[in-house]
């Protein structure tokens, strides 16, 4: 049996050394994926920057109409054009997302319990539905450390990978929210790595203040960060900058964009960091300028 404590003392993260065996494809850990999967990943991640700004608005599937998502037709649709990819449920897709938006979809593929009961009791949808909706990635969450739901959610992700592989659709392993989530490098590194080892092509996890570069370095596939609860705009931009600086391949951000007082200004500022190497100051100025020029 592997050493349960082994991860505590892990220290040889090869910081600064690019991952090997990635020749021929720009996205970490996906050089050996088949053509269709590479095509889908190249729509989600910009092959020039290697990064992605995903706009997440799937929160309603566990939270209901949370702030900023009460009327997604009014608040989210105007933001879609500024994203590289949208992360949402089938209900949102069918009801408010114009099919003409032509954005790749990171599709909430697992469904389950809400914030009112016990989070993370999940099951999977039918792959036929994902194919009908022409999705580019299947998102499935994994509740590492949850004594009740860990095994089931790992099995869900493994099945998602199997179904995605059958049709050339990559899997996004999402490290779950819930009482077991610990925002430190040990937990996030362990949860991300377990998703990758079970076949996820991309991982969504959280940023942590210390040693985040260990999380990205120990994960053989790209990591995108969720934004988490709403922060002051400059703090959210600072988090995005530090995540990219420490090896993240993008953001899958929701509340820090759609709950901002200038959602378009904020997503433009995030884009500048993720794709153009803007500093936090430059990006914040971009947000402020957009906000002041577009105040009602």
Q: Quote the least distance from Cβ 67 to ligand R5P, whole Å.
A: 11
Nearer to ligand R5P, 33 or 176 (CB): 176
CA atoms within 13 A on the CB side of 269: 30
Annotated active-site positions, please? 204
Burial of 282: CB neighbours in 10 Å, binned 0-12, 13-18, 19+ = middle
Nearer to ligand R5P, 87 or 97 (CB): 87
Q: Is 165 helix (H, G, I), strand (E, B) or coil?
A: helix
Q: Is 110 in the site for ligand R5P (CB under 6 A)?
A: no
Stretch that binds ligand R5P, among 42-50, 93-101, 193-201, 246-254 (CB under 6 A): 246-254
Of 270, 204, 268, which Cα lies nearest the Cα of 237? Answer: 270
Task: Compute the C-alpha angle 142/146/152, nearest 5°.
Answer: 50
Distance (Å, whole) CA 169 – CA 61: 22
Nearer to ligand R5P, 33 or 85 (CB): 85
Of 196, 165, 202, which Cα lies nearest the Cα of 43? Answer: 202
Start-to-end C-alpha separation, the chain: 62
Stretch that binds ligand R5P, among 24-32, 178-186, 209-217, 223-231 (CB under 6 A): 223-231
> Considering only residues 28, 38, 58, 286, which one is a binding residue for ligand R5P as defined by CB under 6 A?
58
Q: Is 167 helix (H, G, I), strand (E, B) or coil?
A: helix
Q: Is 59 in the site for ligand R5P (CB under 6 A)?
A: yes
Q: Is 228 in the site for ligand R5P (CB under 6 A)?
A: yes
Residues 60-99 that bind ligand R5P (CB under 6 A): 62, 87
Stretch that binds ligand R5P, among 76-84, 155-163, 193-201, 221-229 (CB under 6 A): 221-229
Using CB under 6 A, list all residues that contact ligand R5P: 56, 58-59, 62, 87, 174, 226-228, 252-256
């Amino acid at each position: 049996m592997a050493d349960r404590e082994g991860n505590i003392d892990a220290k040889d993260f090869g910081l600064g050394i690019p991952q090997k065996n990635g020749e021929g494809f720009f996205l970490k850990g996906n050089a050996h994926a088949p053509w269709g999967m590479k095509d889908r990943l190249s729509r989600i991640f910009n092959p020039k920057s290697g990064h992605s700004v995903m706009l997440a608005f799937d929160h309603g599937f566990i939270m209901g109409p949370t702030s900023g998502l009460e009327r997604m037709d009014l608040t989210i649709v105007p933001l879609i054009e500024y994203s590289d990819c949208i992360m949402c449920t089938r209900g949102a897709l069918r009801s408010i997302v114009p099919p003409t938006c032509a954005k790749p979809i990171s599709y909430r593929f697992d469904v389950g319990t809400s914030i009112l009961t016990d989070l993370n009791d999940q099951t999977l949808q039918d792959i036929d539905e994902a194919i009908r909706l022409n999705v580019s990635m299947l998102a499935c969450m994994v509740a590492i450390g949850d004594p009740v739901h860990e095994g089931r959610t790992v099995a869900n992700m493994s099945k998602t990978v199997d179904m995605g592989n059958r049709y050339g659709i990559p899997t996004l392993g999402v490290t779950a929210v819930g009482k077991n989530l610990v925002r430190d490098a040990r937990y996030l590194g362990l949860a991300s790595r377990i998703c990758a080892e079970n076949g996820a092509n991309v991982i969504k996890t959280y940023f942590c203040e210390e040693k985040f570069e260990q999380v990205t370095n120990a994960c053989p596939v790209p990591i995108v960060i969720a934004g988490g609860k709403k922060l002051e705009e400059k703090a959210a931009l600072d988090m995005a900058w530090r995540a990219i600086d420490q090896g993240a391949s993008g953001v899958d951000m929701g509340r820090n964009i759609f709950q901002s007082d200038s959602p378009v200004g904020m997503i433009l500022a995030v884009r500048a960091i993720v794709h153009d190497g803007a500093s936090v100051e430059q990006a914040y100025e971009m947000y402020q300028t957009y906000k002041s020029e577009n105040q009602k």
